[in-house]
Amino acid sequence: MFRELVRKNKQLPAEDCIQVLKSETRGVLSVIGDNDYPYGMPMNHFYDENDGNIYFHCGNIGHRLESLQKNSKVSFCCYDQGYINEGEWHYNVKSVIVFGKIEIIDDKEQIIDIATRLCDKFPCGEGYAQKEIEASLHRTLLLKLVPEHMCGKLVTEL
């Protein structure tokens, strides 16, 4: 159902893909938007090692949510900061694309749990997460991306 990577020598093992998802703070979530045009937006995310799902927080109105209510299929692209090998000028970047379906979650306890763990990825400062949750919980939803296919590769920017 999903295409295989053409350049297999560039393919990342699943462990490397998961490491990118765990360590990086943002990526681009793409949905099928208005008039079947792709709609991609940068999003902070949290990869949960316990269930293998990727979580995003979002508001309870807007283009993204309306699109997801019509079609739950998405792709999510995330990549690391890259590195330069000694003596070279170009970056080597690990990128990951996840295909799957989104489930919209409005359970307040689960939103608090995931939003808190998402904030832990950032240097927000003491009490920031709690303050934001108290101010915005009533209008916050959780998006759970259940992966169906994940592929990563090492991209050499030449």
For 58-108, write each residue's pLDDT tens digit. Answer: 888 999 999 999 999 999 999 999 999 999 999 999 999 999 999 999 899
pLDDT of 6 > 90? The answer is no
Residues 15-46: tens digit of each pLDDT? 999 999 999 999 999 999 999 999 999 999 99
Strand-pair partners of 73: 101
Q: How confident is the model at residue 136 (pLDDT cuts 50, 70, 90)?
A: confident
Residue 158 in this model has a pLDDT that exceeds 80: no
Provide the token pair at 90: 């170009």
**Nearest one of 2, 56, 1 to 26, comparing CA atoms:** 56
pLDDT per position as a tens digit, 110-133: 988 988 888 888 887 778 878 888
The pLDDT of residue 4 is 87
Q: Is the pLDDT of residue 138 over 90?
A: no
Q: Find, among 99, 124, 87, the residue nearest to 31 by Cα.
A: 99
Residue 146: pLDDT band by 50, 70, 90 thresholds?
very high
Burial class (CB in 10 A: 0-12, 13-18, 19+), 157: exposed
